[in-house]
Amino acid sequence: MDTLIRNARILTFDERRTAHTRADVLVRGTKIAAVGPDLPAPTVEPTRIIDGSGKLVMPGLINAHLHSPANHLKGALEDAPLELFMLYEVPPIQEAPDGGRINYLRTMLGAMEMLKLGITAVHDDAFFNPVPTWDAIDGIMTAYADSGMRATVTIDQPNVPEYEKFPFLEALLPEAIKQSMRDAPRMGDAELLSLYGAFLRRWHGKAGGRLRCAASCSAPQRVTASYLEQLTDFAAAHDLPFDIHILETRLQRVLGQEKHGKSLIRYVHDLGVLDERKFVIHAVWVDQSDIDLMAEAGCVVGHNPISNLKIGSGVMPFRQLRDAGIPIALGTDEAAVDDSANLWGVVKMAGLIHKITDPEWTRWPKAPEILDCLFQGGARSMRLHESTGRIAPGYEADLILVDLDSLAFTPLNDLERQLVFVENGSSVMMTMVAGEVVMENGRLLKVDEAAIKAEFREAAKEHASMFADIHANAEILAPHYAAMLRKAEQMPVGMVRRLPLFGRTD
């Protein structure tokens, strides 16, 4: 069905940043057919005409980083550094198998929230514990297919023993715990690569092209070098984005120094696998040499400012990355470290946090820069920048309708600044993905929201005992990980990415 939106204000975010105070958007099938004032009405039937008076049409938001298996952990975990935090989420010495239905429900929870907020696309770095199963993978992908959302999804699977991922930990752990970590289920290089081949055949391009596969090794220290190299070759052969968390925390900076005598960015570069498909997530504890290497390789960086604050990872050097010409995308990260999938909050935080890192106010991020990260950076993270993130003929019809009569835009002083610093998602009236309206006036059109929430509440009761066991096991490991963190804090790393203690004069 064709859709014509009449007389709306339009922000296209095309190469010229074209803006219309009053114009029309014609959607034909899954794509945008025309944009401009007073477009002729379609002659084909059926056609829906939408009155856009007093509304804004803009591209749908792109959440460039999410871990859907944690969608149920809003407010569930006490804040702590990443290395401690993950013990309560992805237990290294306890199996926490997930069936397909719980993965479906968790993924659908996030998809419903995002669609209602005007987020039309997500880059989901899906992890599995202890190892991926087809039930779990299919549950995630089916949920995205059913929701109507556009999703690029990975299989994020480490394949080395837990203590090899960290500095100092092997020496700190009792032998019995180390043996349990060696005995934990783990997939070899060949097995994981075979799984990826099957994943691609099973899901890549499905749901009318809305669903795409991507590669992920989680992080370079979490996999063998041979798997990282072979998966890079696989991604290149199929032109897939490759998700890789690098230098999220200070401890990871220490790890690179202790294990490799170099930063983890340099380690990946020296392996010959730092390339234009790499989506480097976080990049907080990077130095100028790391930034230069990423820029030379053509990487995209994923910025998750709320996540970085929630668990105290630090503040990413935004201006240095932008100055180097590195595209930056914005993500919520998982619900456990954002407590929502509301990308509008991330947009505002990205516009604010960097103001306290540089006294030179002329270098602070401006609203147009943040919006460029949101749309073009997000699309680049999924290697979809030639088909999404803009309102232009030939692009996918992923767009939203925003009410300019809402309090966020009253009075309307500067549209782009108010999108970044004022809007929270409540003004989104309609969400369209691939030419199909999937949310309108707060109601999801492809999903029975009440039924999904009710089913998940029952499923959560069944999993309560497993979550209690995970917590108990984490408490056994936590003192050893805390000792590792304290030792790492004593190691110099040559940079500061956290605010100094207030009141200190030394």
Read off the pLDDT of residues 347-375 as tens digits, 9 standing for 90 and up.
Answer: 999 999 999 999 999 999 999 999 999 99
In order, the DSSP letters of 26-92 are EEETTEEEEEETTPPPP-SSSEEEEE-TTEEEEEPEEEEEE-GGGTT-TT-S----HHHHGGGTS-S
Q: What is the pLDDT of residue 1?
A: 82
In the predicted model, is pLDDT for residue 504 greater than 60? Answer: no
Average pLDDT score over residue span 14-32: 97
Given CA atoms 17, 18, 23, 29 in this order, what sign does their dihedral have?
Answer: negative
Strand partners, 137: none
Q: What is the dihedral of CA 17, 20, 26, 31, to 10 degrees?
A: 10
With the CA atoms of 21, 365, 376 and 243 taken in that order, what torsion angle do they form, in degrees rounded to the nearest 10?
-160
Q: What's the pLDDT score for residue 97? A: 59
Q: Which residues contact 273 (CB under 8 A, 6 or more apart)?
A: 228, 229, 232
Q: If you ran DSSP here, which 8-state letter would residue 385 be given? A: T
In this prediction, residue 465 carries a pLDDT of 77
Sign of CA dihedral 77, 83, 88, 89: positive
Neighbours of 446 (CB within 10 A): 17
pLDDT at 80 exceeding the cut of 90: yes
Quote the percentage of the chain above a pLDDT of 90: 91
Other Cβ atoms less than 10 A from the Cβ of 367: the count is 17
| CATH assignment at residue 311 | 3.20.20.140
The predicted pLDDT at position 116 comes to: 98
Residue 255 lies in a domain: yes
Which is higher by pLDDT, 467 or 22? 22
Q: What b/e readout covers 289-319, taking b as 16+ CB neighbours within 10 angstroms?
A: ebbebbeebebbbbbbbbbbbbbebbbbbbb
Q: Mean per-residue pLDDT for 400-414?
A: 98
CA distance 353 to 158: 31
Q: What percent of the chain has pLDDT over 70?
A: 98
Instruction: Compute the distance between CA of residue 480 and CA of residue 494 in angstroms, rounded to an integer.
Output: 26
Beta bridge partners of 58: 400
52 or 471: which carries more pLDDT confidence? 52
Q: Which of 78, 494, 480 is nearest to 250 (CA)?
A: 494
**222 assigned to some structural domain:** yes
Q: How far is CA 136 from CA 106, 152, 200, 258, 327, in A?
A: 11, 16, 15, 36, 32
Alpha carbon of 190 to those of 13, 115, 195, 271, 371: distances in Å? 43, 37, 9, 19, 41
Please tell me the predicted confidence (pLDDT) of residue 347: 98
Q: How many domains does the chain have?
A: 1
Peptide bond into 69 cis (omega under 30): no
Q: CA angle 445-448-449, nearest 5°?
A: 100
**pLDDT score recorded for residue 348:** 98
| Structure confidence at residue 83 (pLDDT) | 97
Position 96 scores a pLDDT of 60
Of 86-90, 266-270, 432-436, the least confident: 86-90
pLDDT band with cut points at 50, 70 and 90 for residue 46: confident
User: Is residue 288 in a domain?
Assistant: yes
Per-residue confidence (pLDDT) for residue 92, from 0 to 100: 85
Residue 168 phi/psi, 5-degree rounding, is 70, -15
How large is the average pLDDT for residues 119-135? 95
Predicted confidence band of residue 464 (pLDDT cuts 50, 70, 90): confident
* pLDDT at residue 94 is higher than 70: no
Question: Considering the domain boundaries, does residue 237 fall inside one?
Answer: yes
The tens digit of pLDDT for each residue in 66-77 reads 999 999 999 999
When pLDDT is averaged across residues 324-333 and rounded to a whole number, the result is 98
**How many degrees, rounded to 5, is the angle at CA 241 between CA 333 and CA 393?**
95
Q: What are phi and psi of 418, to 5 degrees?
A: -75, -30
> Residue 122: inside a domain, yes or no?
yes
> What is the mean pLDDT of the segment spanning 92-121?
88
Please say whether the beta carbons of 482 and 489 come within 8 A: no
Query: Which of 298, 341, 287 minimizes the C-alpha distance to 493?
Result: 287
The yes-or-no verdict on residue 112 having pLDDT over 50 is yes
Q: For residues 1 and 49, give the distance between their C-alpha atoms in angstroms, rounded to a whole number.
A: 11
- In this prediction, residue 506 has a pLDDT band, given cuts at 50, 70 and 90, of very low
CA dihedral 302, 307, 308, 310 (to 10 degrees): 180
Supply the range of the domain harboring residue 324. Answer: 61-396
Indicate whether 17 belongs to any domain: no
Residue 31 domain-assigned (yes or no): no
- pLDDT above 60 for 505: no
φ, ψ of residue 416 in degrees (nearest 5):
-70, -40
Residue type, 256: G
User: CA angle 74-159-75, nearest 5°?
Assistant: 5
Q: Compute the mean pLDDT over every residue in the chain, rounded to the nearest whole number.
A: 95
Look at residue 75 and tell me if it is in a domain: yes
The tokens for 359 are 């006294």
pLDDT digits (tens, 9 = 90+) for 423-444: 999 999 999 999 999 999 999 9
CB of 368 closer than 8 Å to CB of 343: no
pLDDT at 462: 77
End-to-end CA gap in the chain: 67
Helix, strand, or coil (residue 455): helix
In this model, does residue 461 exceed pLDDT 90?
no
Burial class (CB in 10 A: 0-12, 13-18, 19+), 452: buried
- Overall pTM surpassing 0.75 (yes/no): yes
If you compute the radius of gyration of the chain from its CA atoms, what whole number of angstroms results? 23
Lowest mean pLDDT among 34-43, 132-141, 244-253, 302-311: 34-43
